[in-house]
Amino acid sequence: MASVMTAMQPLEHIMEELERADGLGALQAASEALCDHYGIDHVVYHWVDSAGDQYGCGTYSNAWRARYLEQNYLRVDPVILGCFQRFHPVDWKRLDWSSKAAKAFQAEAITHGVGNQGFSVPIRGPNGQFALFTVNHSCNDAWWADWTEAHRRDLILIAHYFNEKALEFEPERTPEQSQALSPREVDAMTLLAMGYSRAQVADTLSISEHTLRVYIESARFKLGAMNTTHAVARAMSRGLIVV
């Protein structure tokens, strides 16, 4: 249980390497180092971006990665689907593998060298960023249960550092931080995001609907949005409004 608290030099060394990492290659190297350190088959970091864009690094075979992307397994993979609704790290056994697609997916994964046991830590960043840190191994249930229990805390922390570095190295994936909205514009966007119509927003803010329109338009302009819905979506994803 107390693994995080006990001295474990090689892990400490890997963590320090990770903190000093200055490129995506370092994450790949860290994945491999972690595999060696723990004596497990695979360590993988998988960033699942906005429009189904993906980025990852880790020790899965290139063939399996290619196949995964090519088949768009993103929309089938129970690990992705399950972790997206969770906060807790999760053992793969607790996911829903019942669908036909999931079973086929699993079978194919195993033929590509993916182990039967897995443990994934969901990680979330700003603007809806989502990633998974996964450790994977081929072994029996009891051994895996002991191992994951023993290293749970380490894995949470390592997952956090992986994501921290990935965000750092890929700033273009969390794009421009545009100019801020004026208070009135924030009010307008916020109320619109809450489902109020323009008339209701104007009424709530005690201004004419014409005036409100000016705010919406200027907010739309500042956010580079094509319409109100777009503007609200951008304001939300940039954290300019909290709804």
Partner DNA sequence: TTTTCACTCCCCAGAAATAGTGAGGAGGCG
Partner DNA sequence: CGCCTCCTCACTATTTCTGGGGAGTGAAAA
238 CB contacts (<8 Å, ≥6 apart)?
127, 177, 178, 223
Q: Which does 160 bind (CB under 5 to 8 A by kind): a copy of itself, DNA, none?
A: a copy of itself
* Interaction of residue 107 with a copy of itself, rule CB under 8 A: no
Binding letters toward DNA, positions 84-113, x by CB under 7 A:
---------------x--------------
Structure tokens at 198: 């323009």
* Interaction of residue 94 with a copy of itself, rule CB under 8 A: no
Q: Applying CB under 7 A, which part among 22-30, 43-51, 52-60, 220-228 lies near DNA?
A: 220-228
Cα–Cα distance, 161 to 199 (Å, whole number): 47
Instruction: Kindly tell me which residue out of 10, 63, 69, 86 binds a copy of itself, with binding defined by CB under 8 A.
Output: 86
Burial class (CB in 10 A: 0-12, 13-18, 19+), 164: middle
Instruction: Kindly tell me which residue out of 61, 71, 177, 178 binds a copy of itself, with binding defined by CB under 8 A.
Output: 177
Burial class (CB in 10 A: 0-12, 13-18, 19+), 186: middle
CB 33 within 8 A of CB 106: no
Rounded least distance, CB 186 to a copy of itself, Å: 8
* Interaction of residue 78 with DNA, rule CB under 7 A: no
Please identify which residue in the block is written with the tokens 């956010």: 223
CB 125 within 8 A of CB 131: yes
Cα–Cα distance, 217 to 196 (Å, whole number): 16
Binding letters toward a copy of itself, positions 129-168, x by CB under 8 A:
xx----------------------x--xx--x--xx--x-
Cβ density class 87-104: b for 16+ within 10 Å, e for less: eebbbbeebeeeeeebee
Alpha helices per DSSP H over the chain: 9-20, 24-38, 62-70, 78-83, 100-111, 141-169, 183-193, 198-205, 209-223, 228-237
Enumerate residues 190-209 that contact a copy of itself by CB under 8 A. 190, 192-197
Q: Which does 175 bind (CB under 5 to 8 A by kind): a copy of itself, DNA, none?
A: none
If the CB atoms of residues 57 and 232 are measured against DNA, the closer one turns out to be: 232
If the CB atoms of residues 194 and 199 are measured against DNA, the closer one turns out to be: 199
**CA proximity to 131, closest of 201, 34, 54:** 54
Q: Which does 193 bind (CB under 5 to 8 A by kind): DNA, a copy of itself, none?
A: a copy of itself
Cα–Cα distance, 76 to 90 (Å, whole number): 17
If the CB atoms of residues 59 and 156 are measured against a copy of itself, the closer one turns out to be: 156
Binding site for a copy of itself (CB under 8 A): 1-2, 4-8, 11-12, 16, 48-52, 74-75, 80-81, 84-88, 122, 124-130, 153, 156-157, 160, 163-164, 167, 177, 183, 186, 190, 192-197, 225-230, 232-233, 236-239, 242-243
